[in-house]
Amino acid sequence: MTTDRIHFPQEFSWGTATSGYQIEGGDSNTDWWRFERDPDSGTVEPCGDACDSWNRYEEDLDIIQSLGLNAYRFSVEWSRIEPTRGAISQATLDHYRDVIASCRRRSILPVVTLHHFTLPLWVADAGGFENPDIEHWISDYARVVGEALGDGIGIACTINEPNIVALMGYLMASFPPKVSSWERFVDVNRVMRACHLAMRGALREGPGNYPIGFALSMQEYEAVDGGDDLVNSLRHEMEDEYLRSCDDDDFIGVQCYTKIFLDANGLVEDFEGERTEMGYLFWPQCVEYTVRRAAQFTGIPIIVTENGIGTNDDEQRIRYLGEALQGLKKVQDEGVDVRGYFQWSLLDNFEWTFGYRPKFGIVAVDRTTFARTPKPSAQWYGEAARNYPRSVAALS
Ligand code: BGC
């Protein structure tokens, strides 16, 4: 339940999202950095310097400000803050304090994620989310972040897509540690929920009275040819167990991109309809669907913490965002308490195993000079946000 202590921003948050590893560059003290160098990982290229946002965050924030957006979601890197167990890097904390202060100077709400897919090597080497001590380690880390940054944080997400870390890392064997086991997937999901609670507790002890939640990956699922059982069991693990566990959070972050089809054997790749560069179905209606579903399970405010499209065709991106925002308006009209929308992503960045090929950004990044060039979709989104809901009504 939201307590009186919590301060929710009065305005709807219109933002864009990134993550540390995908844009900072040089986050070498992580499981992902090592994973990319494993020839069997399936990663097409290493992350390397990413978008050099470690050095260029002011430039990124200038763009966000110029678009008239009022919020920015980014993540802080555990591997930089606590490079080895218990050794805290003050210089790193100072850096993130600067990022937060730079947001505040521009009237941009800093929405800070504490864990976005990567683990410090010392954690990964000790068994990561399968070591019973992870709950202590990650809450100690959250305590450090809360103490150092809490007075500036606008909204906090403890963990980004805990269910994707579990799915891709422990069932699909596509992310570190490359395991494929239903039991371990279920176990890690349970550990993730415990980690979130421990982190939330640690953050609440520190300064600041910002809302705290986590960001859940949700989808529209459709069962085809005998896929009902799989849809039910997967959705139970991926969504329902999480949505039932967050009543005492201040909000739930909903992240969605598409709709997937499952038959009795798993994911169906062969389906009708327009596709995105990721091979996903073009399905902006996932926003209204998942927000509605989250609202049915939880009585708490909802923030769309990620939504967007990987495409080289910026016109397709504009069409996607337009239809997504129309869906947002529909659920708001139905009375769902939505407090923000974050487009993924500000920059064309490192898309995990797919490397730099998929373009999720509203801003292009030159891979050699790191020069940023806003695309037409950046202007479009800024205007749509500033003029919402009029902008959306004009689309129908
Ligand atoms: C993740 C991002 C990723 C995006 C697009 C989300 O699952 O949080 O890190 O880049 O989807 O695939």
Tens of pLDDT, residues 229-262: 999 999 999 999 999 999 999 999 999 999 999 9
Q: How many residues does the structure list for the chain? A: 396
Rounded to 10 degrees, what is the CA torsion of 284, 295, 64, 95?
Answer: -130
What is the pLDDT averaged over residues 82-97? 98
Give the Cα-Cα-Cα angle 214, 75, 47 (nearest 5 degrees).
120
> 75 exposed, middle or buried (CB, 10 Å; 0-12, 13-18, 19+)?
buried
Name 254's Cβ contacts closer than 8 Å, sequence gap at least 6.
215, 216, 218, 290, 291, 294, 302, 303, 304, 305
Distance 22 CA to ligand 1 centre (A): 9
d(CA 32, CA 94): 24
- pLDDT, one tens digit per residue, over 353-396 is 999 999 999 999 999 999 999 999 999 999 999 999 999 999 97
Is the model's pLDDT at 2 over the cut of 50?
A: no
Q: Atom 10 of ligand 1 has which residue's CA nearest to it?
A: 351
Atom index in ligand 1 nearest the CA of residue 117 equals: 9
Q: What are the residues facing 13 on neighbouring strands?
A: 340
pLDDT classification of 1: cutoffs 50, 70, 90: very low
What is the pLDDT averaged over residues 265-291? 95
pLDDT classification of 5: cutoffs 50, 70, 90: confident
Atom index in ligand 1 nearest the CA of residue 351 equals: 10
Strand ranges (DSSP E) for 235-314? 252-256, 259-263, 266-267, 302-307
Atom index in ligand 1 nearest the CA of residue 161 equals: 8
Distance 256 CA to ligand 1 centre (A): 9
Element (H, E) at 24: none
Q: Is the pTM of this model over 0.85?
A: yes
Pocket test for ligand 1, best of 306, 307, 356 (most atoms within 8 A of CB): 306
- pLDDT, one tens digit per residue, over 194-208 is 999 999 999 999 999
pLDDT classification of 4: cutoffs 50, 70, 90: low
Give the Cα-Cα-Cα angle 279, 285, 290 (nearest 5 degrees).
100
Report the pocket of ligand 1 as residue ranges, CB < 6 Å.
19, 22, 160-161, 164, 217, 255, 306, 344, 351, 360
> Tokens standing for 331?
């659920």
Pocket test for ligand 1, best of 351, 353, 359, 362 (most atoms within 8 A of CB): 351
pLDDT classification of 278: cutoffs 50, 70, 90: confident
> 386 exposed, middle or buried (CB, 10 Å; 0-12, 13-18, 19+)?
middle
d(CA 335, CA 329): 10
d(CA 69, CA 382): 6
pLDDT classification of 221: cutoffs 50, 70, 90: very high
Q: Atom 3 of ligand 1 has which residue's CA nearest to it?
A: 351
- Please name each of the domains of the chain with its CATH number: 3-395 (3.20.20.80)
What is the pLDDT averaged over residues 148-176? 98
In three-state secondary structure terms, 100 is: helix
Q: Over the Cα atoms of the chain, what is R_g?
A: 19
Atom index in ligand 1 nearest the CA of residue 308 equals: 5
What is the pLDDT averaged over residues 213-229? 97
Distance 383 CA to ligand 1 centre (A): 24
- pLDDT, one tens digit per residue, over 306-359 is 999 999 999 999 999 999 999 999 999 999 999 999 999 999 999 999 999 999
